[in-house]
Amino acid sequence: MKKLFHWLGIERRTEYVDEYFTIANFRSSIYMSIVIIVLELWMLVSLCYRWFTGDDSRTIMWYFEHLVWYLVFLFTAIVMIRISVRYLKKRGNRRLGKLWGTIVMIFFSGIAVYFGISISYSDYIKGEQILCFAMMMIFVVGLLNWRPIVSIGFTGAIFLFFYIMMYRAPEVEMSYATEVNFFTFWISVVMLSLAVYHQRLAEAEKDERLEFLSVTDELTGIHNMHYFRETAAEAIKAIPDKEYILLFMDISNFKAYNEKHGFDEGNVLLRSVAGEISECFSNSIYARVSDDHFAVLTENAGAKEKIEKLQKYVAENHPNTRLKLKVGSYIPTDPNEDIAVACDHARYACSMIKKIYEKDYNEYDKKLDDEFRLKQYVVNHIDEAVEKGYIEVYYQPVVYAKDKSICNFEALARWNDPVYGLLNPGQFIAALEEYRLIHKLDRKVLEIVCRDINSHMGVMNKDVPVSVNFSRLDFELMDVADEMDILMTRYKVNKEYLYVEITESALADGEGVVRAATSLIKDKGIQLWLDDFGAGYSSLNMLKEFSFDVLKIDMAFLRNFNSNAKSKPIINSIVQMAELMGMRTLVEGVETSEQAQYLTSIGCEKLQGYFFGKPKPLSAYVQEEVL
Ligand code: C2E
Ligand code: MG
Ligand code: MG
């Protein structure tokens, strides 16, 4: 039964499919109208010709009647084109356009069929062919997509009416063969319209499915980012006075949840969060961005409560893993704002609190905006900075604890920008790492250091090695050992004058690549130093795995040096441990003579910090005649 109903088109069609048919019909109507306009103009011309050449076989009434019909048909075709074009170009009220379009389309079809019938009938009476009827029938039913039940009823009624008319026609008798042909013709017209309808329907449904997939996130069933960007931009534009807020959400600790419970359970979690988002923000635009990230555009008023409700859901419904929903927000200020940039702002606000356990909501404000712009600036201008010499190297002295004489320098990058002025590494390293551009900076720093070693050593003949910082990503993005070879050869730098500093987090995250590269560096006879020891988590194991020449103890241990009684024993035991393992020690961040004295007393070999000198450009040392 359902199949039969489907076959007859007695079923609810989705809005999308309905629209598909409306558009197809409007399009066909335009073609049909053009044909009709040409035809009717031709008929009008021939009518005039007949009138002026004085064919008196026709009465005035005949001329008048035909003129009126031609004009009505012509006018209807013009109206039909206008309505169709407006609808297809999405102008005016769409609902009204569709209603008027349908009314005119039916009227238009009615006239077409009437013409077909009347002309064919008079031909038939004259004993001639009935081609016009057939043509108009196919014209109306074959080109326009009626539901099959409508086509069957519509054509059935017309055929029956025409049949009765012909049957009763006084002059000609209808033969049996004509009757059969007539019936077969009706069936064929019905079949044709059915075939066209079902083919269109299949196309519409396929399109709908494709469209659905293109805007839907497969995993969670809510919308995807493609949809979000389009609709959010439209929404902001549509009501400029409404205050919207854009939210970017990130489930912190989701990776751990996935590892603990498995991938499938992770997916279940994402689906449940998506479900809760669609409940909390039912009248808003929301989507899954990627992985465990979601975006929402909602009215600012009342948003805070909804966010809290959602955060509560995430925290309370998964008690075995400590999950938190971190939310970054941004309030768009301009209705024409680029939605991708707005999303970036909310995402940035969210990323800022990723590692802060107590904070789970962050608004994009002026301070963040400045940071964000600087970050974009850094990423977009690193090539220019390298090329135009904005990258500079400052040197901070490292001294021997025993006599406080300089044993080496640490090279620290600075970006002397024409717009922003002097930038510290804290303002550009993270952005360059995030966008995997850090090697451009570090290669340049290495080159400047080699150049400086070459120049000042040549002139002053002083033996002052320099340690250079490398990021974990450098080992992925360039061949560090090879670069060192090239630059050291070019600037004739001896292997004793360059040390490599890498942080312990570099070793933890990128073991394979870093391990290979560092052993190459060590094989060359270049010293390898472990920077910021103790700032991360996994320090001790690392010491076993890699062989470092110097352990740089992080300056965090010197914080609260006086007030915290545990600071001293901790540093002391690290120094002892390093000694036992055959490593030399350096403590960073020495700021007072008291710290220096203590560190010397426990046998720490080298010291570095503002107490002995801040980082300065090479020229400052040359002026002071240190070098
Ligand atoms: P780091 O390698 O641990 O360098 C020491 C940082 O501590 C430097 O900051 C230095 O100015 C600062 N510092 C030194 N003594 C003291 C002190 O007594 N008190 C205080 N409060 N701070 C002191 P800077 O120059 O801002 O560099 C920050 C970080 O940026 C560096 O930490 C290093 O990890 C990174 N970095 C610097 N230059 C480069 C570079 O060329 N490449 C890469 N990849 N990273 C770099
Ligand atoms: Mg360092
Ligand atoms: Mg350090």
Residues with CB under 5 A from ligand 2 (ion): 469, 501, 531
pLDDT score recorded for residue 74: 93
Give the whole-angstrom CA distance, residue 593 versus residue 228: 59
**88, 23 Cβ separation under 8 angstroms:** yes
Taking all residues of the chain, what is their mean pLDDT, rounded to a whole number?
A: 90
The binding-site residues of ligand 1, defined as CB within 6 angstroms of any ligand atom, are: 396, 412-413, 424-426, 429, 438, 442, 445, 469-471, 531-532, 555, 588-591, 608-610, 615
User: How much is the pLDDT for 457?
Assistant: 64
The dihedral over CA atoms of 124, 125, 126, 128, expressed in degrees to the nearest 10, equals 10
Tell me the average pLDDT across 557-579: 88
Please count the other Cβ atoms lying within 10 Å of the Cβ belonging to residue 165.
Answer: 15
Ligand 1 centre distance from Cα of residue 600 (Å): 22
Helices (H), 126-175: 131-143, 148-168
Ranges 112-116, 271-275, 311-315, 455-459: which has the least confidence: 455-459
Q: What angle do CA 301, 304, 310 make, to 5 degrees?
A: 130
Which ligand 1 atom sits nearest the alpha carbon of residue 588? 15
Q: Measured in angstroms, how far is the CA atom of residue 320 from the centroid of ligand 2? A: 39
Average pLDDT of span 61-77: 90
How many angstroms does the Cα of residue 587 sit away from the middle of ligand 3?
9
Strand partners, 396: 410
500 Cα to the center of ligand 2, angstroms = 9
Q: Which has more pLDDT, 279 or 518?
A: 279
Q: Please write the tens of the pLDDT for every residue from 384-397.
A: 999 999 999 999 99
> What pLDDT digit, counting tens, does each position of 489-507 carry?
999 999 999 999 998 777 7
Of all protein residues, the one whose alpha carbon is nearest to atom 23 of ligand 1 is: 589
Q: What is the DSSP letter of 224?
A: B
Beta bridge partners of 527: 499
- Span 119-163, pLDDT tens digits: 888 888 887 877 888 888 888 888 888 999 999 999 999 999 988
Report which listed range, 105-114, 250-259, 298-307, is most confident.
Answer: 298-307
Is pLDDT of 354 > 80?
A: yes
Q: Which ligand is nearest to the CA of 413?
A: 1
Q: Which atom of ligand 1 is nearest to the CA of 615?
A: 11
Ligand 2 centroid vs 388 CA: distance in angstroms?
25
Substitution site in 394, 447, 469 for ligand 1 pocket (most atoms within 8 Å of beta carbon): 469
Residue ID of nearest Cα to ligand 1 atom 42: 469
Choice from 409, 588, 590, 611 to test ligand 1 binding pocket (greatest atom count within 8 A of CB): 588
Q: Locate the ligand 1 atom nearest the alpha carbon of residue 433 and give its number.
A: 44
**Atom number, ligand 1, closest to the C-alpha of residue 532:** 3
Nearest ligand to the CA of 398 is 1
pLDDT band at 537 (very low <50, low <70, confident <90, very high): low
Which ligand is closest in space to the CA of residue 500? Answer: 2
Ligand 1 atom at minimal distance to the Cα of residue 438: 44
Torsion angles phi and psi, residue 172, rounded to 5: -115, 145
What's the gap in Å between 416 CA and the centre of ligand 2? Answer: 20
- Quote the pLDDT of residue 460: 47
Residue 412 Cα to ligand 1 midpoint, Å, equals 6
Cα 467 to middle of ligand 2, angstroms: 8
Q: Which of 251-265, 375-389, 550-564, 567-581 has the highest mean pLDDT?
A: 375-389
Centre of ligand 3 from the C-alpha of residue 492, in Å: 27
Are 186 and 137 in contact by the 8 Å Cβ rule? The answer is no
Element housing 608 (H / E)? strand 606-608
Q: Measure 560 CA to ligand 2 centroid, in angstroms.
A: 21
376 alpha carbon – ligand 1 mean position (Å): 22
**Closest ligand 1 atom, CA of 552?**
3
Index of the ligand 1 atom closest to the CA of residue 470 = 44
The 10s digit of each residue's pLDDT in 429-457 is: 999 999 999 999 999 999 999 999 998 86
In angstroms, the CA 19 to CA 3 distance is 23
DSSP string, 310-360: HHHHHHHS-TTS--EEEEEEE----TT--HHHHHHHHHHHHHTTTT-TT--
Q: Which of these ranges, 222-226, 240-244, 308-312, 410-414, has the smallest mean pLDDT?
A: 240-244
Closest atom, ligand 1, to C-alpha of 445: 41
pLDDT cut 70: percent of the chain above it: 97
- Model confidence band, residue 566 (pLDDT cutoffs 50, 70, 90): confident
- Residue 452: how many CB atoms within 10 A of its CB? 22
Q: How far apart are CA 347 and CA 313, in angstroms?
A: 21
Q: Is the pLDDT of residue 459 over 60?
A: no
Calculated CA dihedral for residues 148, 154, 156, 162, nearest 10 degrees: -150
pLDDT in tens, 39-51: 999 999 998 888 8
pLDDT higher than 90, residue 509: no
Ligand 1 atom closest to the Cα of residue 394 is 25
What is the model's pLDDT at position 510?
A: 57
Task: Kindly provide the residue ranges of all beta strands, DSSP E only, lying in 208-273, ordered along the sequence.
Answer: 244-252
Percent of the chain with pLDDT over 90: 64
pLDDT band with cut points at 50, 70 and 90 for residue 57: confident
Q: What is the mean pLDDT of residues 205-217?
A: 91
Q: What is the mean pLDDT of residues 95-117?
A: 90
pLDDT of residue 223: 95
Please tell me the distance between residue 387's alpha carbon and the centre of ligand 2 in angstroms.
Answer: 24
Distance CA 437, CA 414 (A): 16
* pLDDT (0 to 100) of residue 80: 93
Question: In three state form, how does the secondary structure of 391-433 look?
Answer: EEEEEEEEEECCCCCEEEEEEEEEEEECCCEEECHHHHHHHHH
Pocket test for ligand 1, best of 412, 478, 498, 505 (most atoms within 8 A of CB): 412
pLDDT at position 341 is: 93
Distance CA 170, CA 173 (A): 8
Which range of 181-190, 243-252, 332-341, 556-565 scores highest in mean pLDDT? It is 243-252
